[in-house]
């Protein structure tokens, strides 16, 4: 499974990239606003750090505006794909942009039907929001599983990004279900590294090493 980071924070991206495990980055208007930056400046900076897909979300609600924004954003760097919110206008825009070789990440996916339509229109990625379904008492991982099954049934090239990841168990579910990608917030990536028994083991090995030096 490929690992993306879900943030617009440049320092966090630099740090996780330095681990050697980062395959890409997703941003959205809320994450951009949180960093008090603007989209173009932010994705330009990210493209200098990470060698992999970078999602930049369009804010137009009509196909014409989305296509214009998509062309502009993808023109910044070859790794930038345009994120569009699932709706009829986004399907129309995806058809045009994908025919031009511009990758689309269809976001705010909450049903397998939406994912199927996005793939048919030519989206390179679909982003089902696992955590936000859990928030309303539905099972986010069931959605992920249904989409992965549907895409496997038809050898669909569109990649599934498990998004709205809230804790390490969501990452485990994405990997066991077979999602192509999980886009993960910084604090959850940090949690994935740690285990108390690992920390304890390191302490014990170092203590034994110190003892053996004294012999
Ligand atoms: O990738 C989408 C993600 O940023 C949404 O996460 O936690 O706002 O539902 P969340």
Instruction: Encode pLDDT of 88-136 as tens digits.
Output: 999 999 999 999 999 999 999 999 999 999 999 999 999 999 999 999 9
pTM above 0.85, yes or no: yes
Q: What mean pLDDT is reported for the chain?
A: 97
Segment 26-41 shows an average pLDDT of 96
> Can you list the positions of beta strands (E) in 166-213?
181-184
Please tell me the residue having the least CA distance from ligand 1 atom 1: 163
163 CB near ligand 1 (under 6 Å): yes
Distance CA 29, CA 31 (A): 6
Catalytic residue among 34, 83, 92, 213: 83
The residues, any chain, with a CB within 8 Å of residue 118's CB and separated by 6 or more, are 86, 90, 91, 94, 104, 106, 109, 126, 158
Distance CA 205, CA 137 (A): 45
* Run of H or E residues at 125: strand 125-128
Residue with tokens 């173009």: 40
Percent of the chain surpassing pLDDT 70: 100
Q: What is the model's pLDDT at position 103?
A: 98
């Amino acid at each position: 499974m490929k690992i993306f980071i879900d943030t617009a924070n440049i320092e966090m991206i630099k740090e996780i990239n330095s681990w050697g495990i980062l395959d890409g980055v997703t941003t959205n208007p809320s994450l951009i606003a949180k960093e008090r930056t603007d989209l173009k400046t932010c994705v330009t900076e990210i493209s200098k750090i990470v060698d992999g897909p970078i999602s930049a979300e369009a804010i137009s609600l009509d196909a014409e505006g989305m296509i214009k924004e998509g062309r502009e954003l993808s023109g910044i760097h070859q790794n930038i794909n345009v994120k569009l919110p699932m709706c009829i206008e986004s399907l129309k825009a995806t058809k045009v942009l994908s025919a031009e070789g511009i990758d689309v990440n269809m976001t705010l996916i909450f049903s397998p039907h939406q994912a199927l339509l996005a793939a048919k229109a030519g989206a390179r990625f679909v982003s089902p929001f696992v955590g936000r379904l859990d928030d309303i008492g539905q099972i986010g991982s069931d959605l992920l599983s249904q989409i992965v099954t549907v895409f496997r049934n038809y050898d669909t090239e569109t990649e599934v990004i498990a998004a709205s990841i809230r804790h390490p168990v969501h990452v485990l579910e994405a990997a066991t279900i077979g999602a192509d990608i999980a886009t993960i917030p910084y604090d959850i990536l940090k949690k994935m590294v740690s285990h108390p028994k690992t920390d304890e083991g390191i302490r014990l090995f170092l203590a034994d090493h110190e003892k053996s030096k004294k012999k």
